[in-house]
Amino acid sequence: MYRWMAGPIAVLSVVAWLAGMGAASAAEPSLQLEGKGTFSFLDACSQTSCPAVLNATLKGAPFGETELHLPISISTAPNEFTGCRSVIGRGGRLEGKQYQVTFSGEICDPPIKGLIAPPPFPTPLPPPAPRRMRFPGHSLSGSVQFHVAGVTCVAQDLPAAVGTLSVYGGPIGDPWLFSIIGTADSIPLCPLPSP
């Protein structure tokens, strides 16, 4: 009686295992770039914004090794709650690849958002356990999109990849760490023209 049930149970086990493998591979990001670069101001700030540029050498899926060049505009007005300032990037590009880059996010000055600085007043007795020094750096994070260059569609964007750009660094001019995690090639591009 149990012999005829062994076949269907084995088949269901294999199907469940294959489904689990597909779900695990689907969870991995298809856009994963990391590297080092620089942040620098381009010119003096106006009353509303400061022009700057991000340059980085990145490596990873799906673009391989490439260089990011992203001009950005930083708002001079900080957010009342976080103290961070909004950032917009347009006209960026990946060198050697046919992609334009846009960005929308925020930059946070030292201390990095979410990290607690020691209090400015004297510590009460007895003293607490020693605290580690926090990284006194800058953080820039937000949404980044890669668009196919030289292709025009009416009334629609053309993202070939979308993800989160995270940049961390110390003093201006020092190397900063860059990371882009997201999804590539899953967003439809221009539809093909009708025959």
Q: How far apart, in whole angstroms, are the C-alpha atoms of residue 92 and residue 73?
A: 12
Between residues 24 and 53, the one the model is more confident about: 53
More confident residue, 178 or 97: 178
Mean pLDDT, the chain, integer: 75
- How far lies 102's CA from each of 14, 72, 121, 177, in Å? 44, 9, 43, 19
Tokens of 117: 């600085």
User: 3-class DSSP state for residue 7?
Assistant: helix
Q: How confident is the model at residue 75 (pLDDT cuts 50, 70, 90)?
A: very high
* 138 vs 166, residue with greater confidence: 166
pTM: 0.68
Closest listed residue to residue 179, CA positions, set 45, 30, 34? 34
Alpha carbon 161 to its chain centroid, in Å, reads 11
Mean local confidence (pLDDT), 95-113: 80
pLDDT higher at 120 or 106: 106
- Tokens representing residue 164 in the block: 């989160």
133: DSSP letter: P
Per-residue confidence at 35, pLDDT binned at 50, 70, 90? very high
